[in-house]
Amino acid sequence: MTSIADISILALKGQGIRGIIFDVDNTLTSHHATVLHPRVAEAFAVICSQFNSVIYSNCEPDRHEQLRRMFSIPIIEPGLKKPKAEGFARAQQLLNLPAHQIAMIGDRVMTDIFGGNRVGFYTILVDPLDTQEPKVLTWIRNVEKWRLKLAGFR
Ligand SMILES: [Mg+2]
């Protein structure tokens, strides 16, 4: 799945999902950004209006404080790091739902997806939001190299 904007709410509901756990960095925001990424902001609002939702980000206390200011839904406490089971158990406790009714959405296989699968959640892997930028930077770098070559530099 490319991003949370591709999620079918009807399909998730149809398979019995009632609660959502969101990763933050590269799933809802650019890395360490303090605003939602424009590609997913509307989808995030819609999903939150349809499902009981929580935020789960592996982060330090200062980033956690930022997240508390950004989001009005519950956030898993810092220190409970994915993919350890404790944080997922905390999320399940906050959602107050059986594991099979919970979906974990994130961009990292080793933390979000592995951790969520291991405790019996449905998991949805999205592409990292930031991948657009390095491609552009690579292209710019290549153009710069080409211009240097034309100018007689190696
Ligand atoms: Mg992430």
Ion ligand 1 — residues with CB under 5 Å? Answer: 23, 25-26, 107
Tell me the per-residue pLDDT of 21-54, one tens digit each, with 9 for 90 and over.
999 999 999 988 999 999 999 999 999 999 999 9
CA 88–ligand 1 middle distance (angstroms): 15
Give the number of other Cβ atoms within 10 Å of residue 42's Cβ. 12
- Beta strand 102-106 with 19-22 is parallel
Amino acid at 68: R
CA 110–ligand 1 middle distance (angstroms): 10
CA 152–ligand 1 middle distance (angstroms): 43
Domains of the chain, each with CATH number or no CATH: 4-150 (3.40.50.1000)
Tell me the per-residue pLDDT of 113-130, one tens digit each, with 9 for 90 and over.
999 999 999 999 999 998
What is the model's pLDDT at position 154?
Answer: 52
CA 97–ligand 1 middle distance (angstroms): 23
CA 1–ligand 1 middle distance (angstroms): 14
The DSSP bridge partners found for residue 106 are 125
Cα angle at 109 between 104 and 111, to 5 degrees?
Answer: 65
Ranking 67-76, 84-93, 135-144 by mean pLDDT, the lowest is 135-144
Tell me the per-residue pLDDT of 60-70, one tens digit each, with 9 for 90 and over.
999 999 999 99
CA 149–ligand 1 middle distance (angstroms): 38
What is the distance, to the nearest Å, from the Cα of residue 13 to the centroid of all Cα atoms in its chain?
20
CA 129–ligand 1 middle distance (angstroms): 9
Q: Is the pTM of this model over 0.75?
A: yes
